Amino acid sequence: MAREIKFSLLYRDMWQSSGKYTARVDQLEEIAPVIIDMGCFDRVETNGGAFEQVQLLYGQNPNTAVRKWCAPFNKAGIQTHMLERGLNALRMNPVPEDVRFLMYKVKKAQGTDISRSFCGLNDHRNLKGSVIGAKKAGMISQVALSITHSPVHTVEYYMGVVDHVVEYGCDEICLKDMAGIGRPVFLGKLVKAIKDKYPHIKVQYHGHSGPGFATASMLEVARAGADYLDVAIEPLSWGKIHPDVITIQAMLKDAGFLVKDINMDAYMEARSLTQKFIDDFLGYFIEPTNKICSSLLVGCGLPGGMMGSMMADLKGFMGAINMSLRNQGKPELTLDQMTVKLFQEVEYVWPRLGYPPLVTPFSQYVKNTALMNLMHTLKGEPRWKTIDPDTMNMILGKTGKLPGELAPEIKEIVKEKGLEFYTGNPQDAFPNDLPRFEKMLQEEGWERGQDDEDLFELAMHERQWRDYKSGIAEERFNKSLEDAKAKAGAPKVVVRPVVEVPAFDVEKVAEQHPKAHPVQATATGTLIWRYDVAQESTAPNIGQKFAEGQPVCYIQTYYGIEPVNALFSGKIVSINAKHNENVQVGQVLGFIE
């Protein structure tokens, strides 16, 4: 008898892999019945990741969004699943364990059936709390392995992680191939190893289509025993996103598997609605290059969504780098030449940093280190001159154990800086903190919310929750949308690009301040020059001093607040962006000398 393969629609990740925002709750409510009518999905990814933060950025209550979005699927018997980042839960930095445990209780009550939990370093210690918390809340615990391709990421390596999380009590394993660079045959071998040892464990495959392996990978894992495959629908399929359900269903049917039929009338309606959401406003914030596959991703191994950010970074550095090359009597480089050099530098840096899987946030750390190395080496300076604090925390083991060994030169840098490696459990460094947020609620006169959901949001996203409650978030989003419309024009059927980076004369500043270093946006979002809970304020004064590693400003992104730290000690000599301005990753915000 033919074995059945089931499909999960990644309606959250389709948007997250395309651009800055996911659909609003009213749009999600509109399309949910149509997704159900398609008849081919047993699961839908509804929330998690950056979903809650995006709803907060709209000025909407994410608790309401999750409940309304999950409800029709719950009623139809379609399982809903969320994505969470283990130690980091729903944000980019570590979360106290009591707040993590409250998350599962809240999300289960809101209608989320499955918690997909991953650790960017595949450190099973960071996943233990996820398994225990999800199971205690009555959720299905699915642990995701962060898939990458390196000499240390072997079947035996991944099975070591699987052994631990199965011991903790997880119900399912997901192969999270976030860059789509997992080799198909290898993935098939890994699925077979899991199924041979743990036949009761369900296996789900999640693969992005960026470098082109994903379709072959899906066939291999299906043949090896996978139970579920993650898919997308047009107009947000393929490119650097995910394979389309039509192609995968046809491929598996031809291979002899039992798969559900697709109601094509409903598919076309869902396709049309998704395009309507793009035309409405979401298209203003979608990176157009994410609709294109790229074989260049095979070598560097970075997730496809980072291609746009890397190009923005390079454009921001080009003026300063080429000026330095001219001063050295060397020929200038084109953007294509710099791109190749950056890819090569990523390939150089990655193994020396211990082969961290290239998934958020570790892909950003590797890319940023490679970019700074490139800038220094083209100026005739040594590599590793600039390592940002977050990358250094990863090197020191504060976020988990690296899969591979650090290069001797990295260990020597740690020694020279007088730093110490951390070998303890990462969660131990972040003790329980929920009582503090309960006290905050009382002081503000706010309710705990249904099933403690408002308490959870305050504890998980304090700054963003306060901005939502005050109305600042909605005001800021409306302004960003107005700016996008003014600069990009109304989006047509073809997705429009992200707002262009405002241009200014980098070379002129470099001539006036030859020893100055750029302060660059580390993410795309809204620039907040000074950001505390009490108030927002304007840019620093020219001449204001900053120590290396001190936050100069902040970026309000769809996933949280991203600090922009000074890479060198010095004083501000130029301000090149305004408070509350929408900025792009890599954009030069000012200079420090």
Are residues 369 and 522 in contact, defined by beta-carbon separation less than 8 angstroms?
no
Query: What is the distance between the alpha carbons of residues 171 and 204, in angstroms, rounded to a whole number?
Result: 11
Query: What is the distance between the alpha carbons of residues 442 and 476, in angstroms, rounded to a whole number?
Result: 27
Q: Is residue 40 part of a domain?
A: no
Q: Is residue 380 part of a domain?
A: no
Strand 114-118 and strand 41-48: pairing? unpaired
Query: What is the distance between the alpha carbons of residues 383 and 370, in angstroms, rounded to a whole number?
Result: 9
**pLDDT tens-digit profile, the chain (593 residues):** 789 999 999 999 999 888 889 999 999 999 999 999 999 999 999 999 889 999 999 999 999 999 999 999 999 999 999 999 999 999 888 899 999 999 999 999 999 999 999 999 999 999 999 999 999 999 999 999 999 999 999 999 999 999 999 999 999 999 999 989 999 999 999 999 999 999 999 999 999 999 999 999 999 999 999 999 999 999 999 998 999 999 999 999 999 999 999 999 999 999 999 999 999 999 998 878 788 888 877 876 766 555 555 666 666 667 777 777 788 888 888 877 887 888 888 889 999 999 998 887 788 888 889 888 888 888 788 999 888 888 998 999 999 999 999 999 999 999 999 999 999 999 998 899 999 999 999 999 999 999 999 999 999 999 999 999 999 999 999 998 998 888 775 444 333 333 333 344 555 665 677 777 788 887 777 888 875 443 445 677 888 888 887 888 888 775 567 788 887 788 988 888 887 777 877 788 888 88
Query: What is the distance between the alpha carbons of residues 94 and 123, in angstroms, rounded to a whole number?
Result: 14
Q: Beta partners for 564?
A: 553
Are residues 510 and 576 in contact, defined by beta-carbon separation less than 8 angstroms?
no
Q: Is residue 560 part of a domain?
A: yes
Q: Beta partners for 526?
A: 556, 582
Query: What is the distance between the alpha carbons of residues 435 and 428, in angstroms, rounded to a whole number?
Result: 17
What CATH code is carried by the domain that includes residue 574?
2.40.50.100
Determine the residue type at 310. Answer: M
Query: What is the distance between the alpha carbons of residues 558 and 168, in angstroms, rounded to a whole number?
Result: 32
Q: What's 517's DSSP letter?
A: E
Q: Is residue 512 part of a domain?
A: yes
CA 172, 17, 465, 548 torsion-angle sign: positive
Q: Is residue 576 part of a domain?
A: yes
Query: What is the distance between the alpha carbons of residues 228 and 234, in angstroms, rounded to a whole number?
Result: 20
Q: Is residue 528 part of a domain?
A: yes
Total domain count, the chain: 1
Strand 570-575 and strand 545-546: pairing? antiparallel
Query: What is the distance between the alpha carbons of residues 530 and 67, in angstroms, rounded to a whole number?
Result: 34
Query: What is the distance between the alpha carbons of residues 530 and 247, in angstroms, rounded to a whole number?
Result: 49
Q: Is residue 537 part of a domain?
A: yes
CB atoms within 10 A of CB 271: 18
Residue given tokens 């100026």 in the structure block: 379
Q: Is residue 569 part of a domain?
A: yes
The domain of 587 spans: 502-593
